[in-house]
Amino acid sequence: MLETLRNKRMMFVGDSLNRGQYVSMVCLLHSLIPDHAKSMKTFGSLTVFTAKDYNASIEFYWAPFLLESNSDDAVVHRITDRVVRKGSINKHGKHWEGADIIVFNTYLWWMTGSDFKILHGSFDDEVKEIVQVSTEDAYKMAMKSMMKWVETNMDPERTRVFFTGMSPSHFKGIEWGGRPNENCYNQTRPIEDLNYWGSDSDKSIMKVIGDVFKKHKFPITFLNITQLSLYRKDAHTSIYKKQWNPLTPEQIANPYSYADCTHWCLPGLQDTWNHLLFVKLFYP
């Protein structure tokens, strides 16, 4: 993998699930590199791991919607009333230019309910024109913008573009035969029903991805991680995540109430995502 990345710049662009895949990739590779020949630095939304002897970098860029949004701050972004600005891909895209390999993702931040708020104009406008559209239409707008950016800025002969599919959550134990109040907390076994599909994974969004990709000629590689990840109710960070606010006595008394059933432990499942990425890089 390091030889493949020699003299190249690899970027992961998206949300915290993509950051997890990025950290997994760095963890898989960094032990092969002496301490004096590697570095890791963060510049706002951009984190850069450098392998100096290979003249290679592996980077992560925080952009949970890919487009400009009110959740773009790399640290302070936990906003419930989310707004995305139409036609704003270049706000972030200018930081991706020159990458040889890009791995995009965006999904979970769109899942706010049936509708989504889209800003026409600028966040700086005194009077903002905000319209509500269906989540599918908003997501389709982002996918089209991403593909337009890729076709304008990436060379299909020289660069590679990947898109990591939906990462599932495990908040509803009743869906895999557990009790109604159960979630991923204290789960130690994968789901063994091969046909299992949780309600947190939206098939209408998967259809949008497929429809948009089919209409564009640029060769984008889809990392289909959803079904294999759906089985892994045992693989989440659960109560061992970083807590941004002190836990209340009530939460401490009920671990189900604060278990993180969205993000994944490392080492773990996301290493498998990167094994898939590795194979598709070598055998496109």
Active-site residue, from 15, 16, 122, 275: 16
Active-site residue, from 92, 95, 170, 263: 263
Q: How distant is the alpha carbon of residue 141 from its chain centre? A: 17
Report helix, strand or coil for 170: coil
Helices (H), the chain: 2-5, 16-30, 89-93, 135-153, 203-214, 226-230, 249-253, 269-282
Look up 134 and say whether it is catalytic: no
C-alpha torsion 11→16→20→21, nearest 10:
-40
Look up 115 and say whether it is catalytic: no
Active-site residue, from 15, 100, 200, 260: 260
Report helix, strand or coil for 37: helix
Q: How far is Cα 226 from Cα 111, in angstroms, rounded to an integer?
A: 16
Query: What's the burial of 248, exposed, middle or buried (CB within 10 Å: 0-12/13-18/19+)?
Result: exposed
Look up 193 and say whether it is catalytic: no
Q: How far is Cα 257 from Cα 59, in angstroms, rounded to an integer?
A: 33
- Please state, in angstroms and as integers, the Cα–Cα distance from residue 214 to each residue in 127, 156, 255, following that order: 38, 16, 44
DSSP code of residue 193: -
Q: How far is Cα 159 from Cα 41, in angstroms, rounded to an integer?
A: 24
Q: Look at the alpha carbons of 55, 58, 61, 67 in this order and tell me if their dihedral is positive or negative.
A: positive
> Mind telling me the catalytic residues?
16, 260, 263
